[in-house]
Structure 1
């Protein structure tokens, strides 16, 4: 079985809007009330997938969830046409596009039964995300239905917040080999909440059958959370032997690195000093919410948003690192401005799964032709603009539902209607 990294990107949904629902996410809070561009957002996401294909990477996709979330609103005793504005905004969120929060994934070489395990995230911290998991689970069960190779788990009980792969890292010599899994949790972030609970991390590790002596639980620094790093992937990212992190990412950095180094001596730790790039610049630019990948040519590549190039301290650090022959050998820049304005960079948009593509439902795998067809549907069906004040317009609600149906029909995924 040829195990390889597959990045599953969430297609930006037709209800993409800036309602400012995510407390602690500075970009989402800053742009609350702005007019969004769902069509441009989805096309930017598809172009990012094309860029990954051009690098020789395997690429997957997840589809937007039903919006408005009629069943969730019904549980609250209302409907889109009658719901108060704040409640309707929670039911129209397109945040499921950030597939890094879809689930936590442990590849087969790490698990007791040698299957790839996926646990859907409960996302209980924020109302607009707490109702995503049933639709996410439905996609995971379709995409990874081969029970010989995959085990898909329901969510951890909501007493313990779990936000998925955005708080999970893995170090290994190669993706298809056994590795060390790192779960990052928060305790407090001052004015902002810590979203990942340590008990959720431990539960996922048990469900996945991970070896305790190859699993670490690490606290995110309160300073990072307070600065706006609502998930660990805003200040740290790992790929194969490389851990790329801000100096202030972890509560007890020295202890963590010592433990990790003893379990994985091949570790290549790349740290960005706070004196060169402060947390504010790191978070604004989403330097670490980048995809760190290994294309077939073997050159470790960092896929960053345009905002990283536009932040002088960040871009200067990257150029120095490249010139110094560091672990990261190439930087690719992508335009995901619509996602960035709502607080999600390139890494937010994808869930990394190590698997044999032949074992995945092909409807969830992307190639150039499929992306072309999806781009045509987006250009024809997605709203061009959405003002948050217009979310209850009947014509908009109908357009959003019609657009998603057209996408599902094109992919042959009518069972997700």
Structure 2
């Protein structure tokens, strides 16, 4: 089974949503046991907090003990050097004679439960020392990374499992760029192994170096389990610049009210035979329903754009409609009748806004997030509405919204300013200091 971003302990103090992450975690383990999987592979962010509460640790371990302990024999064999794969305890947990493990869990750390503090320990180290999970993918250096695969066999199938726990994206990008991430391959019969990578990084480019590009990975890989991105794209997709597949299971609990969190949540059963694989998505039924929609006040029949009561009435009717839609969806799917998460994005261009917390008070007991149901935003000006002589109409409109008149646009370029001060004709022209003189000055004055 493949799963990622369970974020156990998220909103655990919330009176409505407090049990969401625990219920879904237990459902994940229940699916694993009912499907008789060989092992569970977790792609990071098992916990939501770097230092999970005692309640979170207790309930996590309680569920693992309930579903993953037992006398059932584990069919997979680890044939690689376990001292390299699990340096702390030198062996996989189900081979410890003091424990009966029926479903082993292999997990890397994410950005939420990464190692920190004295000794660079993670909450996963606590589960590992108790023999509840097999924690791997922890790098001693982030500037020169060597990954030794966990080599597993079952019958005629052979799996080489590589793992890299979360590293700050800019640093890992640079390490990949410098070709200092090395994946070690099996010594014998390399082509017989199904090579699989699990990592927890940005897949979407938020900036030129704040993500990991598919082209960085070795061509011999067959499959990548990509954690960290919460949008569920679990169906394997062929990489755009390589000959391997990528599966992005997404999170099992919504940790933000964004659009990509509204997609149905899944885990996957991955079957491997030689170089072929089959992934079967399994929907999660304990996930709280989440609906997100848009409304444009200009398209609603509101006679007075400044009449807060009329605006409130229009938005109330829309939210009530969304709540009913969520209830019907849950009933059709045969799922528990949970209070839904509702997010209504309101385009209020040309209209006044209302108090979001006050609006949500009428939905206490009906939705799980009454304090932040509404999200107000304004439509950007189109070119047809630009006044002559205005070079940046969006910025000017935003300034006028705040009641501030914009200053005239300064056409001076930063390149000209730098050249005027540091150029060859400037008052502070730059000269190169010879190495010998620089060394003497360093010893003399420093």
Give the TM-score, by structure 2 length.
0.30
Of structures 1 and 2, the one with the larger relative CO (CA 8 A, separation 6+) is: 1
Looking at CA atoms only, which structure, 1 or 2, has the larger radius of gyration?
Answer: 2
Give the TM-score, by structure 1 length.
0.31
